[in-house]
Structure 1
Amino acid sequence: MKIAAGLCALVPLGLVLLGFGLPRAEAIHPPFAPPSNQLLLGADDIGQDVLRVLAHGALTTLGVGLAAGVLATLLGLLVGGAAGYWTGLEPPLTRLTDLILAFPRLPLLILLALYLKPDPLNAVVILALFGWPSTARTLRPAVAGLREAGYAQVARTLGGSGLYVLFRHVLPQLTPLVMVNLLLEIRFGLVAQTGLAFLGLTDPSVPSWGLMLFQAFQQDQTFTAHYWVWTVLPPALALALTVLALSLPLLGDERRLDPRLRRDT
């Protein structure tokens, strides 16, 4: 699974490198020009090199997903760790977590995008603020179970503070669980950003895979002719391979993280 995930990840990683190395695309080619030696993936409806737009779109889509996933996981790690380790903080933090979990993230993200400035930073902040509860809810019982482990009790007996024991002895034991939640949040972040762009709720001057799909679907000739082959397939395949690269490692960790699956074997 991990080898297949690595192969899938080569596409988005290669596009990111191209995005840093290639200049921004300009509308200097004939609209819907087919692929050629000069235009490896052809041109879009306004004459931009699709490969360059795809590469710079990777910086936006993957950047939003990565930033939102990391920030949401860190917030969930702090809240879930505090709620699981300090029993006095558990009731209010658990109620806060359940309250935010009650809001559907994607519809709320769409609603907020209608009223806020449609830039990547706002998308990252919104995704992180409403994405941490799932990580916190997963980590809280795990931290509570490890709080009374022998090594944690010994560290407290030797004078270790609560923060020291939590971050030095408890949370490192949960690294696989944290990594799974991180991959899930990154995956949700990039899919959500693509969805917002596909709905036309992002800045049209900032290239992204969702914006490429949005612009392609706005043109009638995209599907009446064969232009969809180089205007729709590249961003769709790039997104699919990226999601697959983030999903395949989770399949390998299920048996290790779920005791019920280990008992079945």
Structure 2
Amino acid sequence: MAQEEQSSRSIYTDIDDAGSDEEINKWQRTFRLWRETLKEHWGLLTDELSVKLSMLVVAGFMLIAIFAPFIATHQPLQRQYQGEAGIIIEDWVEPSLLGADTEYLLGTTAEGFDIFSQLIYGTRAALLVGLVAAIFTAGIGTLVGLVAGYYGGKVDDALMRIVDFLYGMPLLPTVIVLVAVLGPDLWNIILALIVLQWRSTARVIRSQSLSLRERPFVKAAEVAGAGDWHIISRHLAPNVLPMTFLYGSFGIAWAILAEAGISFIGLGDPNTVSWGTMLQASRAYSALSFGAWWWFVPPGICIGLLVISGFLIGRGYEEITNPKLQ
């Protein structure tokens, strides 16, 4: 009797293990399919010279952000002083609005901050806002679009009404209001951007999903008894990944530009150095009137380079997903 019970338990254990292995294999096949789709489009994307150069620019800024403590010559929010040796530091004079020299590679601000160090550390803020906002907006938009497009009916109506409501709000003014209410913090800016930016991705992915769910391979999966999540993850998601990446690359550029604009009007995080806060400070101290171009030109150039690179990468990918644009 004991042997029969042990044998029965062994059979059920083997069945459970087989089910677990099958589930693991399904996930492995799903991720392999996603990886192959991305690999194929990556090869097509890197054929464009403008895209290659843009990727090099973005990679360069990422390396600067990672190694900022080693590249910067001073702390970004530490005042620098000049004076004769032996004089106590309280009597030293802040090197206000100094031009570039061997000590301060891009000069100093009116408060004695080293501009080069602020520029280097500002890269971190720009990429943090751009990447985090883009990842979340692309992810949320893709998930909402897939669910709305696949299920249709009341689910689609409910989700699209939310999207329509958000489309009635202009992006930048609404983000400014949200940041003003939540407080001038970098994460509040990211949160405000996420709340509004996913709407465009959701609408496009939903349109694609409506078309894909009528394709023969989806109908065949339904007849074979595949579950909803299996169909969405294995058959719909890999086919909409190109549009997810496209809107993600545009989202990075828009987020960086939005953060710079919000910081420029004085709603940036006062405890974090960003290119937008640098421009705001230069405006507040009338750097243009004093001819201190070294204060506002470098962050403006960096914003332009990173935003244009993001748009060029997105544009290159758009030509892959829509050959008519070539």
Q: Tell whether the structures are fold-level matches, with TM greater than 0.5.
A: yes
Work out which of the residue numbers 305, 313, 325 in structure 2 matches 1:241. Answer: 305
Contact 1:198 1:210 in 2 (8 A): yes
Contact 1:45 1:219 in 2 (8 A): yes
Work out which of the residue numbers 79, 86, 90 in structure 2 matches 1:27. Answer: 79
Superposed displacement of residue 185, structure 1: 1.4
What aligned pairs does 1:151-162 form with structure 2 within 5 A after superposition? 151-162=217-228
Structure-2 separation of matches of 1:154 and 1:20: 56
Superposed displacement of residue 85, structure 1: 0.5
TM-score by length of 2: 0.75
- Is it true that 1:15 corresponds to 2:64 in the alignment? yes
Structure-2 separation of matches of 1:144 and 1:258: 18
Report percent identity of matched pairs: 28
What aligned pairs does 1:227-238 form with structure 2 within 5 A after superposition? 227-228=292-293, 230-238=294-302
Work out which of the residue numbers 193, 204, 211 in structure 1 matches 2:259. Answer: 193
Structure-2 separation of matches of 1:157 and 1:259: 33
Superposed displacement of residue 103, structure 1: 0.7
String of CA shifts for 1:36-79, please: whole Å, max 9, x gaps.
22222121121111121112111112211211111111111111
Contact 2:179 2:192 in 1 (8 A): no
Superposed displacement of residue 107, structure 1: 0.5
Work out which of the residue numbers 109, 112, 122 in structure 2 matches 1:44. Answer: 109
Q: Please list every run of at least 4 consecutive aligned residues from structure 1 whose deviation after the TM superposition is greater than 6 angstroms.
A: none
Contact 1:32 1:43 in 2 (8 A): yes
Contact 1:15 1:54 in 2 (8 A): no
Structure-1 separation of matches of 2:214 and 2:307: 38
Opposite residue 305 of structure 2, the aligned amino acid is L
Q: Aligned with 1:188: secondary structure?
A: helix
For structure 1, list consecutive stretches of 5 or more residues without a partner in the other structure.
none
Structure-2 separation of matches of 1:15 and 1:226: 28
Contact 2:55 2:313 in 1 (8 A): no
- Is it true that 1:141 corresponds to 2:207 in the alignment? yes
Structure-1 separation of matches of 2:323 and 2:131: 29
String of CA shifts for 1:114-151, please: whole Å, max 9, x gaps.
22221111111111111111100011010111112222
What residue number does 2:127 align with?
62
String of CA shifts for 1:162-210, please: whole Å, max 9, x gaps.
1111111211112211111101212111111111100001222211100
Superposed displacement of residue 259, structure 1: 5.9
Structure-2 separation of matches of 1:236 and 1:74: 30
Q: Aligned with 2:112: secondary structure?
A: coil
Structure ID, larger Rg: 2
Work out which of the residue numbers 159, 166, 170 in structure 2 matches 1:93. Answer: 159
Superposed displacement of residue 14, structure 1: 4.0
- Is it true that 1:251 corresponds to 2:315 in the alignment? yes
Opposite residue 27 of structure 1, the aligned amino acid is R
Structure of greater relative contact order (alpha carbons < 8 Å, 6+ residues apart): 1
Q: 1:181 to 1:90 in 2, by over 3 A?
A: same
Opposite residue 190 of structure 1, the aligned amino acid is I
For structure 2, list consecutive stretches of 5 or more residues without a partner in the other structure.
1-49, 82-94
Opposite residue 35 of structure 1, the aligned amino acid is A
TM-score by length of 1: 0.91
What residue number does 1:4 align with?
53
Count matched residues. 260
Q: CA RMSD in A?
A: 1.8
What residue number does 2:271 align with?
205
Q: 1:179 to 1:164 in 2, by over 3 A?
A: same
- Is it true that 1:103 corresponds to 2:169 in the alignment? yes
Opposite residue 200 of structure 1, the aligned amino acid is G
Opposite residue 24 of structure 1, the aligned amino acid is Q
